[in-house]
Amino acid sequence: MKKVSISDIARKAGVSVSTVSFVMNDKAVKMRISREVIEKVEHVAREMGYRPNQLARGLRTGKTKTIGLIVENISNAFFATLAKSIEDEAKKYDYKVVYCSTDNDEGKARELINMLSQRQVDGYIITPTLNLSEDICRLQSENKPVVLIDRYFPQHEEIPAVLVDNYEGVSRGMEYLIAKGYRKIALVSIETEMAHMKDRLRAYSDVLSRHGVEPQERLVKIVPYSSDHEAALKEVVELLASAGKDVDAVFFLTNYLGVLGIEAIKKLKIKVPTELAVLCFDDNDIFRLYTPTISVIRQPIEAIGQKAVSTLMERLKQPGEEPFPPQALIRLEADLIKRESI
């Protein structure tokens, strides 16, 4: 069974290709095609099981109704949830999503942008890696709108970004720890030069200083991105080994680190929250169900996805050649979910 094309229908219905096209695109009335012909064509099309070839359509119109989504790693719960929310939201606008994962690799990210661009996606939603701003600016200069999610480039006002308010979120968490009397607060973060993580780190130091606590270097552990599970675990275990003495609380700056942290805590048999208070940035099933339950700063994942899509749609419908207007960062507030770990 071969695919049926518009000209097969035209032949069978005894009309021209153009007529069929008009009917299929609801332009029949505007083009004054008669009722009978419209019905005839619609009937034949249904009968033959016609389905328009989107490649041809895209080639002709320059629009594919597809958005390219680049995340760090689709198997990570945070990005998987975000992706689903973007997929669902895009569907409302009748857009399809093509995803891919960078694994936080600059080169891979570049390849992916290339690949999506070759496939003529109409716009992009990207979790950027370091040094990607040039490539992204190029996309915009080719009139393809981009919206960043989760991360941003501080010196590029012209690239819109939707993300949680990292500084505010971490500040709120820190204030809570301080308010509860903790002063020897350890921090676990991931090694990266990217601004969103720097914002989180900055909040940590700022809140400590504001309360007259000197930030101590030995309380801050930055685990290398590339390290394997075991190596990373070892680092966290080291940091928390002195829990109850030199450390009375720990703040994990990402989901993944929090899970790692739980593993370390379990291994060291640390009593939470009596020996160590625990707080994590980003929620996860595990934090809700672990004993004790772990308090978190929860990102509004759904809202980030929705806002990213709506911002992109805004730009997609902008006609022609004008460059995109600058757009300030869109920062969404995080919630502090208080559980048993602090």
Q: List residues binding DNA (CB under 7 A).
A: 3, 5-7, 14-19, 21-22, 24-25, 27, 31-34, 36-37, 50-53, 56-57, 59-61
Identity of the residue, 52 or 224, whose beta carbon is nearer to a copy of itself in the bound complex: 52
Q: Is 63 in the site for a copy of itself (CB under 8 A)?
A: no
| Shortest Cβ 202–a copy of itself spacing (Å) | 29
Side-by-side strand order, sheet with 277-281: 220-223, 185-190, 249-252, 277-281, 295-298, 335-337
Q: Is 8 in the site for a copy of itself (CB under 8 A)?
A: no
β-pairing verdict for 220-223 and 277-281 = unpaired
Q: Is 53 in the site for a copy of itself (CB under 8 A)?
A: yes
Q: Is 2 in the site for a copy of itself (CB under 8 A)?
A: yes
Identify the three-state secondary structure at position 157. coil
Quote the CA–CA distance of 120 and 114 in Å, as a whole number: 10
247 DSSP β-pair partners: 243
Among 96, 184, 331, 339, binds a copy of itself (CB under 8 A): 96
Tell me the site size for a copy of itself, rule CB under 8 A.
Answer: 49
| Shortest Cβ 77–a copy of itself spacing (Å) | 7
Q: Is 59 in the site for a copy of itself (CB under 8 A)?
A: yes
Q: Which tokens sit at 225? A: 């991105």
Among 12, 84, 184, 198, binds a copy of itself (CB under 8 A): 84
Identity of the residue, 120 or 216, whose beta carbon is nearer to a copy of itself in the bound complex: 120
Alpha carbon 78 to chain centroid, angstroms: 8
Residues 6+ apart with CB under 8 A from 324: 140, 145, 158, 315, 318
Alpha helices in 252-321 (DSSP H): 255-268, 285-289, 301-316
Among 14, 52, 224, 326, binds a copy of itself (CB under 8 A): 52
Residue with tokens 């320059």: 62
Quote the CA–CA distance of 105 and 185 in Å, as a whole number: 31
Q: Are 127 and 140 in contact (CB under 8 A)?
A: no
Q: Terminal CA-to-CA distance of the chain, rounded, Å?
A: 64
Closest CA to 239 of 286, 284, 185: 185
What residues between 261 and 290 interact with a copy of itself by CB under 8 A? 262-263, 266, 284-286, 288-290
Binds 29, which of a copy of itself, DNA, none (CB < 5 to 8 A, cut-off by type)? Answer: none
State the residues that interact with a copy of itself by CB under 8 A. 1-3, 51-56, 58-59, 64, 66, 73-77, 80-81, 83-84, 87, 96-101, 114-115, 117-120, 138, 141-142, 259, 262-263, 266, 284-286, 288-291
